[in-house]
Amino acid sequence: MSSSSSSSFRSPAGAAATLFSSDQKIRLGRLDVLRSSHSAFLGRRNPRGVVSVHPSSSPSPIQAVSSPSKPEAATKRSKVEIIKEKSNFIRYPLNEELLTEAPNVNESAVQLIKFHGSYQQYNREERGGRSYSFMLRTKNPSGKVPNQLYLTMDDLADEFGIGTLRLTTRQTFQLHGVLKQNLKTVMSSIIRNMGSTLGACGDLNRNVLAPAAPYVKKDYLFAQETADNIAALLSPQSGFYYDMWVDGEQFMTAEPPEVVKARNDNSHGTNFVDSPEPIYGTQFLPRKFKVAVTVPTDNSVDLLTNDIGVVVVSDENGEPQGFNLYVGGGMGRTHRMESTFARLAEPLGYVPKEDILYAVKAIVVTQREHGRRDDRKYSRMKYLVSSWGIEKFKDVVEQYYGKKFEPSRDLPEWEFKSYLGWHEQGDGAWFCGLHVDSGRVGGIMKKTLREVIEKYKIDVRITPNQNIVLCDIKTEWKRPITTVLAQAGLLQPEFVDPLNQTAMACPAFPLCPLAITEAERGIPSILKRVRAMFEKVGLEYDESVVIRVTGCPNGCARPYMAELGLVGDGPNSYQVWLGGTPNQTQIARSFMDKVKVHDLEKVFEPLFYHWKVDRQTKESFGEFTTRMGFEKLKELIDTYKGGPQ
């Protein structure tokens, strides 16, 4: 497998870890919190940027997070860090803002409600004032949605939302259009019906991905169990979520003892002692944190785009033995700032299966302690890994882990698996994967899905490609279910355009505050135009290109892994990215800026034509564009006279 560090931004180097034998106080800005012994830390910085340690007979305050590169800014923190510090573990002032008559909440509460799984939005196309609403995102490890929760979300979308549900690229629901006055009703309904939105947004671990296929196979079941355990390990413990939405009533299910043991273990100085948040403390993480778990060959989860990628390794009898770990992936970047970049995760090593929670915790704590908190553009863990290099990063993680990582085990090639269509689960039942354009469930599709899921009492799963899987279907149900779904436009994969099957788009306009141009609303037309270009240049119907569209450079639909990525860079304008691969193991590169949506044919058609006539055997479009090189591709565009009609 290839890995890449892309661009070469350098954040300030972290200090070598130092061991102390007595409890130390760590200063997080103005807040002193008691830390256990044996904690790696950053010392004070002298004017030349060299870290120095000042021993003292009494405990001295130590900066617990990476300092900015400029000495004079040594205590600088982003405003979000200060909001978190003053919030009483993500409560204040959100608790007060929710009680006001205003339709919105203030800036501090906007930041805090993210940790509860919600973003404040307004319709950017309405004139004459802002009509505020809230988007809620659920937390569904492995994309698992119990029957009761699906029916609840379907009801809430109609009663309190905009009448649609959206399946996300991280296997969750998004519910748009909830008014502030209805937030508590909606949140409590989700919680009381086997769901949660806790940590679906904010500076902490987000939803943990795993293959959505409900195969009754040892490795798949173990991957999904591991995803559940990692999600539980890294879930906030201080109760702010339940205090806010169900008046402190607890709805948490019993955790496996190995999760509780790993969370409470402090033998290597990972925990905040006597804190309601033993892993996160008052400041949580510097930015969002993403984890995916999978099995060999199955890259349905876009493994290398995550902060941590976890791969089950089994013996020759199919018994899971441990995990390969990958670190430092991430998609977000900023236009015209080359110091920000998308990045693939790279191999860290192998751990035996009984150690996985301790290893994941050690990686999280390394980011907590050393990730940048001064400038949120550089706060993701990918910048720490890129700055330090993988060997230094591994050394620091190993101090929190308490062991050396073993060499990564060899794995077969990755494949993208969509799980569309009918498949045997392995227990006598079937599952059915259904393609949903851009994950938007509405209209007759929504009504019909509801009827089928309710009638047959089906549990569902959401895929990382914005599709839905119906689980545990008896053989005698297959024909009636297939018929009723097809009548609602939910077709078997042989009747869905191959371009649509792998395409993704983020919501963008009208509700996303970051959108620069269209994505979800624009991609249907773009895909139809690409299909017309395919036909014009003589490409077969079953030939396809992975196309992903986002309305801004944050990369929610992971466009930087696409063979052809479109990233909004102006009104009706896109930056074109080329060079990803169909199995999502190679990162794309920026090919052309400011391509107007009406000019896409001028760029795409020559590329498709020359892919058809100049490609090597079984060479994908992404591989072709990489082999040809961008200078040659631009020359082909400039000299193109039109392909066969």
pLDDT in tens, 7-30: 332 233 333 332 323 333 232 332
Q: Say whether 124 is catalytic.
A: no
pLDDT, position 127: 87
Task: Determine which one of 114, 166, 170, 206 is catalytic.
Answer: 206
Q: Can 432 be counted among the known catalytic residues?
A: no
What residues contact residue 267 under an 8 Å CB cut-off, 6+ apart?
Answer: 38, 402
Q: Average pLDDT in the 420-440 region?
A: 98
Average pLDDT in the 485-493 region? 95
Q: What is the pLDDT of residues 87-117, one digit of tens each?
A: 999 999 999 999 999 999 999 999 999 999 9
pLDDT of residue 252: 64
C-alpha to C-alpha distance for 509 and 551, rounded to whole angstroms: 8
pLDDT category, 36, cuts 50, 70, 90? Answer: very low
Lateral strand order in the sheet of 346-352: 291-294, 308-314, 320-327, 346-352
> Residue 642 — pLDDT band, cuts 50, 70, 90?
confident
What's the confidence (pLDDT) of residue 253? Answer: 72
Percent of the chain residues topping a pLDDT of 90:
85
Please compute the mean of the pLDDT values over residues 618-645 and round it to a whole number.
93
Which one from 201, 432, 471, 512 is the annotated catalytic residue? 512
Q: Say yes or no to pLDDT of 539 above 90.
A: yes
> Among 45, 288, 372, 440, which one carries the catalytic annotation?
288
List, for residues 593-627, the tens digit of each pLDDT value.
Answer: 999 999 999 999 999 999 999 999 999 999 999 99
Residue 346: enclosing H or E segment and its boundaries? strand 346-352
* pLDDT of 553 over the 60 cut: yes
Active site residue 206: yes
Q: The dihedral of CA 382, 388, 391, 392: what is its sign? A: negative
Of the candidates 170, 556, 558, 612, the residue annotated as catalytic is 556
> Can you tell me the distance from the alpha carbon of 382 to that of 364, in angstroms, rounded to the nearest whole number?
12
499: pLDDT confidence band, cut at 50, 70 and 90?
A: very high
Fold of 77-86+199-399: Sulfite Reductase Hemoprotein; domain 1 (3.30.413)
| Active-site residue flag, 615 | no
Active site residue 512: yes
Beta strands in 89-180 (DSSP E): 118-122, 132-137, 144-145, 165-167, 173-178
Q: Is 137 a catalytic residue?
A: yes
Are residues 563 and 579 in contact, defined by beta-carbon separation less than 8 angstroms?
Answer: yes
Q: Which of 84, 91, 137, 263 is catalytic?
A: 137
In the set 84, 290, 333, 440, the catalytic residue is 290
Q: What is the pLDDT of residues 272-312, one digit of tens each?
A: 999 999 999 999 999 999 999 999 999 999 999 999 999 99
Q: 499-637 has which fold?
A: Sulfite Reductase Hemoprotein; domain 1 (3.30.413)
Q: Is the pLDDT of residue 68 over 80?
A: no
As a whole number, mean pLDDT of residues 121-149 equals: 95
Of 51-65, 138-152, 464-478, 561-575, the range with the lowest mean pLDDT is 51-65
Mind listing the pLDDT tens digit for each residue in 572-586? Answer: 999 999 999 999 999
Higher pLDDT, 312 or 128: 312
Pinpoint the residues of the chain covered by CATH 3.90.480.10: 419-496
Q: Which range (125-134, 179-188, 384-393, 405-414) has the least confidence?
A: 125-134
pLDDT surpassing 90 at residue 146: yes
368, 552, 558, 612: the active-site residue: 552
Please determine, for residue 74, whether its predicted confidence score (pLDDT) is greater than 80.
Answer: no
Pick the residue with more confidence: 65 or 121?
Answer: 121
Percent of the chain with pLDDT over 70: 88
* Structure confidence at residue 72 (pLDDT): 41
| Long-range Cβ pairs for the range 247-254 (8 Å, 24+) | 251/191, 251/192, 251/196
Per the annotation, the verdict on 10 as an active-site residue is no
Q: What is the pTM of this model?
A: 0.89
CATH topology of domain 419-496: Sulfite Reductase Hemoprotein; domain 2 (3.90.480)
57 pLDDT more than 70: no
Rg (CA), the chain: 25
